[in-house]
């Protein structure tokens, strides 16, 4: 699968991006007898890229008003049978969700809850957990790339440790043996790191 990174693009380039993605996917030979999943999301976010990296699937974008024609054509060309939607209905509306084949949604109340939900639901390798800020995108994208190689979770934090993140660490403390903080102390401070490490201490 050709990796396609489509994060934080300006609106005027989206139509061009849709065309380029369609062309790339059409040129790529995919096994028709394999179950093909397609991630569809409106948000240009590390959570979407990470989910796709975990599963080796392409990302297609949608709009709140409906599925773009190029997205519909590409999904038809690829004979998509299952769709994974990352984001709650305020991001990908029910009207769009209902148009998608075999749709399953992962969406929390915010990006922190969504990241924790994805990490929990995918039954990942919990030996090592990556932690990055959800306030920007650079560290999370780097962490997501690293995490995908070992099927490790990526948990997002803000200026503290959000309840969703704290809940994930508490629920999985017996399985977590390594924590990787991505970013300097100005991004993830000692108090945050200390709180997380204390939660998973054996």
Provide the whole-model pTM. Answer: 0.71
Q: Which tokens hold the place of 88? A: 């709650």
Query: 102-120: per-residue pLDDT in tens?
Result: 888 888 888 899 889 988 8
Q: With beta carbons less than 8 A apart as the criterion, state whether 87 and 43 touch.
A: yes
CA quadruple 59, 31, 96, 120: dihedral sign: negative
Summarised one tens digit per residue, pLDDT across range 147-181 is 888 889 999 999 999 999 999 999 999 999 999 99
Lowest mean pLDDT among 39-48, 135-144, 187-196: 39-48
Please check whether residue 178 is in contact with residue 131, taking contact to mean a CB–CB distance below 8 angstroms: no
Domain ranges of the chain: 11-106, 111-200
Share of the chain above pLDDT 70, in %: 71
Comparing CA positions, the residue from 131, 124, 72 lying closest to residue 96 is: 72
């Amino acid at each position: 699968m050709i990796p396609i990174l489509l994060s934080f693009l300006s609106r005027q380039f989206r139509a061009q991006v849709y065309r380029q993605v369609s062309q790339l996917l059409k040129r790529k030979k995919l096994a028709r007898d394999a179950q093909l999943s397609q991630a569809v999301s409106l948000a240009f976010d590390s959570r979407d890229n990470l989910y796709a990296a975990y599963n080796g699937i392409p990302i297609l974008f949608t709009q709140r008003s409906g599925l773009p024609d190029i997205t519909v054509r590409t999904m038809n060309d690829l004979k998509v049978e299952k769709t994974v939607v990352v984001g709650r209905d305020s991001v990908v509306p029910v009207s769009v969700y209902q148009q998608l084949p075999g749709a399953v949604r992962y969406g929390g109340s915010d990006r922190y809850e969504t990241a924790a939900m994805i990490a929990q639901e995918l039954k990942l390798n919990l030996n090592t957990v990556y932690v990055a800020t959800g306030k920007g995108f650079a560290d999370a994208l780097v962490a997501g790339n690293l995490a995908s190689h070992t099927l490790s979770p990526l948990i997002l934090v803000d200026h503290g440790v959000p309840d969703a993140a704290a809940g994930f660490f508490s629920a999985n403390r017996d399985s977590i043996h390594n924590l990787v903080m991505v970013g300097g102390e100005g991004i993830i401070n000692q108090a945050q790191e200390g709180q997380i490490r204390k939660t998973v201490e054996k």
